Amino acid sequence: MTAISMLPHLSKATLPPARLYIAGSWLDSSAEPIPHIHPATGESVFDAPNADAAAVDAAISAARVAFDEGPWPRLPGRDRAQYLRTIADLIRADAANLNMLLSLDNATPSSFVGFYQMGAEYPADLFDTYAGWVDKITGNTYPQWEASQPFTFTTHEPVGVAAIITPWNAPMSLFAQKLAPALAAGCTVVAKPSELSPLVSLRIAELIAQADLPPGVFNMLLGPGDPVGTALVGDPRVDKVSFTGSRGIGSAIAATVGARIGRISLELGGKTPALIFPDADLGMAVGIAAGNAFLGLSGQVCVCQSRILVHRDVYDEVLSTLIGFAAAATFGDPFDPSVSAAPMITTQHMRRVLSHIERAVGDGAKLAVGGGRAENAAATGNFVAPTVLVNVDNSMAVAQEEIFGPVLCVIPFTEDDEAIRLANDTRYGLGAAVYTHDVSRALRVSGALRAGTIGVNSWTLQPHAPFGGMKQSGLGRENGQAGIEGYLETKTTFMR
Ligand code: NAD
């Protein structure tokens, strides 16, 4: 096995300050920094700052003052839009460096960073597209309901101080999906990205600092979910919490924020089904589904197509193609262009994924391929072999729980309605994919699926189109007009 190291790559990158960004300044915290352990090598690559209680308080105070007394919510649209465009330009100019930091954070293979939604281009586009929304936050006027009614109109105002909490897997994209609309709406922000993606998060904060927003409009904390995230969401000075992460944490945050009738949006996990019909382009269907689960982030994506529902007529062909894909994944140094798959983000998460597989086998599932740690270039990395499970009943834990790793279960069906029933038989409703060339079937099946995002012979996420989940996959939508509406309150004025 070849030993690999991130240290030579680290020396080539422009590293951000290991400090917190509060009220327009970089500040230290008294809390012990957290060594960031690289998931492919086990090396400590960065000492990430860790917010103490005073830093959390200072960040919320700064955002509160900037909202209540500062210019930001009252800034003319043209000026606010210009700040967002500047941020977009700064991100684009630093794209190569940001992409490098992404691989240093979470081992995203460099071969995958070029995917639009993973690298720096997508977040830059989000700032541009929301710059365009600033001057489109318009209200309505209303005709008289009765003769004596005064002039009636609505305005949409920023919701206030927004706490933005994001996970580690696509740290630039998920952060921009929240920050760009929040700033466009006129909110002030305290961001708490994942402690597992500190480099790219702090570098984006550094770029935003260069855009010279009024102090306190944007603040960034880092540190663990508990106590940093909990302190942030529990603070009544925070008007809105926008969270992307796991269902359990989202539910706990919703309880805290709900108790004070705070505003909240949630982008949570999923158990996305891929419905493969016999008339589909099977190579494309398996390519998208297995690409999601086995390549790139190795299934550590919220919309991983982890339940393959396949028509019995094409079951054998689909299964053997999936097994071929699994065998083709390559592991090792994320900067090696021939490496196609990432390790699990932490050793603890790798153990969790492996225990899901063990439990599935204990429940009666059979391994078609994989099932353990991957043979790879780095003995120290958290690599899990792409795993395909068959003989799975949809009620088993492996078909119901989000695994967040390279684990697929394949379940056969005969009738369209059976496929729809299986697809909807989950508490999640983030995404669903339908593979068929029959337009009537595509419309009927996708119409019957209870999921917020449907791919028909395709799978994507775009800055201008709403994205989000039904059922326990979330609350609210990001991107496009729906995204900015999450940061606005409607005010109705009756004026005589
Ligand atoms: P996570 O829930 O463990 O953490 C997400 C963020 O919440 C991190 O910043 C973490 O520090 C913070 N956090 C943890 N506990 C907290 C608490 N009690 N209070 C406040 N903040 C807290 O998730 P993760 O492991 O980073 O990411 C994986 C999860 O995110 C998966 O479930 C995945 O499906 C989901 N996800 C969803 C989407 C989406 O758009 N729907 C996108 C990406 C990831």
DSSP lists the bridge partners of residue 142 as: 152
110 contacts 335 by C-beta, under 8 angstroms: yes
Measure the CA–CA gap between 216 and 195, rounded to whole angstroms. Answer: 22
Q: Which residue's alpha carbon is at the smallest distance from atom 20 of ligand 1?
A: 229
CATH number of 273-456: 3.40.309.10
- C-alpha–C-alpha distance, residues 303 and 442, integer Å: 19
- Residue 409 appears among annotated catalytic residues: no
When the candidates are 3.30.160.250, 3.40.50.300, 3.30.1330.40, 3.40.605.10, the CATH number that belongs to 6-269+473-495 is 3.40.605.10
Q: Is 252 in the pocket of ligand 1 (CB under 6 A)?
A: yes
Catalytic residue status for 489:
no
> What pLDDT, in 10s, does the model give residues 154-185?
999 999 999 999 999 999 999 999 999 999 99
Q: Whose CA is nearest to atom 9 of ligand 1?
A: 194
Q: Which pLDDT band holds residue 375 (cuts at 50, 70, 90)?
A: confident
> 239 in ligand 1 pocket by Cβ < 6 Å?
no
Residue ranges per domain, the chain? 6-269+473-495, 273-456
What would the mean pLDDT of 32-55 be, rounded to a whole number?
97
Q: Identify the three-state secondary structure at position 451.
A: coil
Segments in 77-157 forming alpha helices (H) = 77-93, 95-106, 110-113, 121-131
Confidence of residue 405 (pLDDT cuts 50, 70, 90): very high
Identified catalytic residue from 267, 401, 402, 478: 267
Do residues 162 and 265 lie in contact, with contact meaning Cβ atoms separated by under 8 Å? no
Per-residue confidence (pLDDT) for residue 380, from 0 to 100? 75
Average pLDDT over residues 186-213: 98
Answer whether 187's CB lies under 8 Å from 137's CB. no
Residue 378 scores a pLDDT above 80: no
Mean pLDDT, rounded, for 7-25:
97
- How far is the C-alpha of 190 from the C-alpha of 219, rounded, in Å? 5
Cβ–Cβ under 8 Å, residues 409 and 308: yes
Q: Look at ligand 1, atom 15, and give the residue with the nearest C-alpha.
A: 225
CB neighbours of 430 closer than 8 A, spacing ≥ 6? Answer: 268, 269, 270, 271, 272, 302, 303, 451, 452, 453, 468, 469, 470, 473, 474
Phi and psi of 273, rounded to 5°? -90, 145
Tens digits of residue pLDDT in 473-483: 999 999 999 99
Q: Give every CB contact of residue 402 below 8 A, 6+ residues apart in sequence.
A: 246, 247, 269, 270, 271, 306, 428
Closest-CA residue to 192 (of 45, 49, 347)? 49
What are the C-alpha distances in Å from 170 to residues 116, 119, 123, 304, 467? 11, 8, 10, 13, 15
Confirm whether 6-269+473-495 and 273-456 share one CATH topology: no
Q: Is the pTM of this model over 0.95?
A: yes
DSSP letter for 431, please: E
**Ligand 1 within 6 A of 402 CB?**
yes
pLDDT for 121 equals 97
Predicted pLDDT at 63: 99
Q: What is the 164 CA–ligand 1 centroid distance (Å)?
A: 11
**For range 288-308, the mean pLDDT:** 97
Inter-helix orientation angle 198-210/77-93, to 10°: 130
